[in-house]
Structure 1
Amino acid sequence: MRLKPTLYTAAIAVTGLLALAPVAFNAVVDAYDHNQLVDLGLDKKEISVKAHYPLYKMIEYPRVKASTVILGDSRARALQDRYWQELGRDDVYNFAYGGATVYEIYDTFEYLRDNAELETLIVSLPLRSMDARFKGGMNRVPEAIALANDPFAYYTNWFVARTGWSLMKDRYPETFKAISSLSLSPVTEAKAADFGAIETLSVEALLDPALCDECALTTPNGTLVLPVLHGYRGTGYGRWANFWPEITIERDLPQLFAKQVGTNGAADWRRFKQSDELWQMVEEIARWSRENDVELIFIIPPTISEMQRRISDFGLASANHKFRERLSGLAPVVDFDFDTPFTRDLANFTDAYHFGSDPARRIVGELLLLTDRDEDRIATTIKRREGLVCPVTPDDTKTSHSAGTLSLLEGKSCRIWRQANG
């Protein structure tokens, strides 16, 4: 049976319209502001950004072209552009992503290297991110660059359409609620019980090698010997032991904080292994910055003191110090992650990992003092200092120490590590 020409043409037309539907939807809703033709009052800064941080920022940055850029994960993302603008800096762009890996930081750096004229690069780099298995080695940046540079791929992308749909549902909740209440299907949803409740699974069952070949916990034979340098308290800090006192703090934490310290802290450090591949990426960022006269600053963001203690719990105290020593050989390291009144004050944190908006403003102020030369902005920032002082000037410095080529300056809840050649 052959279709009549009229019916065939109609079928082709309907198929074409269906194929163009997501294109038209993406063009109008424009979840990631690729064209900015129509303003529907959608909450893209909240929904679109969190759905795909790199895509939003890869599309946004070419319109900004800031000469100072911040890279890192959600802790770096907290150092928002508007906090810099409050201090008179409109040349700073926060290119950090929630959950960012070093792979993503490096690929973003490569993009900036080829597409921006940088003067200052601030990279947030906690030790935890230096394991190649962190976040499963996730890298969303190549896809983001591809979509940002290819309008056809962007407008025909179903992920972009799904994000747009989420934006519309957020903007018009009552309309979508009414639509969802309509059912054109005679088949109803079945509510089936779980085969086995999670509460019935023992620890032994969860660690069954048949389920996960990396989950079995080995039992050490004999005495467990940690990789430390003997002397200087046997902690592995060597001559720096006095600057890493044992964290002794006992208190009841809020439920979320306690769970993160216990469960997440163990997951962070139990199998931690620093990656040579990731370190080479960090070295390349430093080498390029040095050769192109770009000021590079590393920051180690703060966590609460109990979370810091988990590093020592898993025998990584020496690695924690060594990381700062190596990193400072590439560029100055601004360190907020050590036991201080700031990290003991839970009011500064929204959870065990993340600091709040007021501490973020204070950290931005300290970074401005380290990178800015404008006397008016410096004076304004100094007036706003409270509870956090990096050793920018001799008057800010409360303690100093050096051993070999490594030097440390400590202010108030802030340290700066440098190497004589760094």
Structure 2
Amino acid sequence: MAALNVVVDPFGRNGWLDLGLPREQVASVVDYQIHKILAYRRAPKPAIVLGDSRAELLRDAYFAEAGRPDVFNFACGGGTLPEAIDTFWLAAGTTRLRQVVFGLPFSMYNELNRMNRLPTARQVSRDLPSYYLSPLVTKASLLVLATAATGRTFVDQLPPMSREEFWDYQLGPGAELHWRRWARPRVLLSRLEEVAEYCRAEGIDLLFVLPPSHDDYRALLDGHGLAAESALHRRELARLGRVLDLDVPGPLTADRANFDDPRHVTPAVARELAFAVVAALANGPQ
């Protein structure tokens, strides 16, 4: 299998052979983190975006369009706070950072969500033997070849239901599952404080961004007794860095047409938000 991975090289680790394979199309969804770690090592940038799928919506192309081609979006779908923190340290150890955009909505600010896939991704991408012998890389190689041969997409990111059904799920069982397993960060807050302290010491502009959610989703906080915790979350972030709060009631958050689901805005809105982030960065310490 190592030979297969050398030839296919699904994540573009070595760049030896250009076979016209759909590497980017497949690898970017097979494992977000390996894909982005290797991309960042090839072309590190001084400004990064961290977070989950909501921060990932702020595409590199939007930042470039807004005059900031030096921004690299390191956010990953399904990302957690531990992963975002570890990604920060990985980037800080790779290049000299100047600005960090940390997408940190309240739902991600959760002590009980300790999932962290980054150590595995970092290990796989660390050196060539680890990369070529990785079962995950082999899986990606096979998917790249299958996609090239058939033209089909074998990794589907869309939920297995209609938009309306998924909307209702996110406001019902999905939200219930998430909020009943929420606890105020303590260990994670301490780790976040270490990030803030490093940024202050190194002169790095740390900007926390709270992405918008639909009004119906935000209203669920009251029903779960978490409205006060959400307000505390905002105050804690303001203590650690600058805050761009986009999750405030208004025309944007009231209109379902602005959202693909209650927590994720449409690409058109995400582009506008990226421009708002660029404006906030321009108003920060230089």
Equivalent residue pairs, number: 274
Q: Structure 1 vs Structure 2: percent identity of aligned residues?
A: 30
Tell me how far 1:348 sits from its aligned partner: 1.2
Structure 1 runs not aligned, ≥5 long: 1-21, 176-252, 374-391, 393-422
User: Contact between 2:131 and 2:137, CA under 8 Å: does it hold in 1?
Assistant: yes
Q: Deviations over 1:335-373 (max 9, x none)?
A: 122322101111111111111111111011111111137
CA distance in 2, matches of 1:307, 1:369: 27
Q: Which residue identity does 2:139 align to in structure 1?
A: R
- Please say which of residues 45-54 and 25-34 is displaced more in the overlay: 45-54
Alignment partner of 2:149 out of 172, 180, 198: 172
SS of structure 2 residue aligned to 1:118: coil
Correspondence for 1:130 = 109
1:344 paired with 2:254, answer yes
Q: Residues 127-276 of structure 1: matches in 2 within 5 Å? A: 127-134=106-113, 137-173=114-150, 254-276=164-186
Q: Deviations over 1:288-338 (max 9, x none)?
A: 001100000001111111110111111111111111011101111111223
User: Contact between 1:308 and 1:338, CA under 8 Å: does it hold in 2?
Assistant: no
Q: Which residue identity does 1:27 align to in structure 2?
A: V
User: Contact between 1:269 and 1:310, CA under 8 Å: does it hold in 2?
Assistant: no
User: Contact between 2:98 and 2:203, CA under 8 Å: does it hold in 1?
Assistant: yes
Q: Deviations over 1:149-186 (max 9, x none)?
A: 210111111210111101111111189xxxxxxxxxxx
1:115 paired with 2:25, answer no
- Please say which of residues 255-264 and 117-126 is displaced more in the overlay: 255-264
Alignment partner of 2:268 out of 358, 362, 377: 358
Correspondence for 2:193 = 283
CA distance in 2, matches of 1:320, 1:24: 51
User: Contact between 2:112 and 2:181, CA under 8 Å: does it hold in 1?
Assistant: no
Output the TM-score relative to the length of structure 1: 0.62
Q: Which residue identity does 1:38 align to in structure 2?
A: L
Correspondence for 2:207 = 297
User: Contact between 2:167 and 2:261, CA under 8 Å: does it hold in 1?
Assistant: yes
CA distance in 1, matches of 2:166, 2:220: 16
User: Contact between 1:106 and 1:281, CA under 8 Å: does it hold in 2?
Assistant: yes
User: Contact between 2:11 and 2:24, CA under 8 Å: does it hold in 1?
Assistant: no
From the superposition, tell whether residues 174 and 43 of structure 1 become closer, same or farther in structure 2 (CA, over 3 Å).
Answer: closer
Q: Which residue identity does 1:85 align to in structure 2?
A: A
Correspondence for 2:223 = 313
CA distance in 2, matches of 1:370, 1:273: 30
User: Contact between 2:22 and 2:144, CA under 8 Å: does it hold in 1?
Assistant: yes
Tell me how far 1:104 sits from its aligned partner: 0.6
Tell me how far 1:270 sits from its aligned partner: 2.2
Q: Which residue identity does 2:37 align to in structure 1?
A: M
SS of structure 2 residue aligned to 1:350: strand
CA distance in 2, matches of 1:158, 1:269: 34
1:59 paired with 2:38, answer yes
1:80 paired with 2:59, answer yes
1:38 paired with 2:17, answer yes
Q: Which residue identity does 2:25 align to in structure 1?
A: E
SS of structure 2 residue aligned to 1:70: strand
User: Contact between 1:283 and 1:330, CA under 8 Å: does it hold in 2?
Assistant: yes
User: Contact between 1:53 and 1:97, CA under 8 Å: does it hold in 2?
Assistant: yes
Larger Rg: 1
Output the TM-score relative to the length of structure 2: 0.91
Q: Deviations over 1:185-207 (max 9, x none)?
A: xxxxxxxxxxxxxxxxxxxxxxx
Q: Which residue identity does 2:131 align to in structure 1?
A: Y
SS of structure 2 residue aligned to 1:96: coil
CA distance in 2, matches of 1:268, 1:166: 32
Structure 2 runs not aligned, ≥5 long: 153-162
Correspondence for 1:370 = 280
Q: CA RMSD in A?
A: 1.7
- Please say which of residues 113-122 and 137-146 is displaced more in the overlay: 137-146
- The structure showing larger relative contact order (alpha-carbon pairs under 8 Å, at least 6 residues apart) is 2
CA distance in 1, matches of 2:98, 2:106: 25
User: Contact between 1:300 and 1:337, CA under 8 Å: does it hold in 2?
Assistant: yes
CA distance in 2, matches of 1:44, 1:349: 29
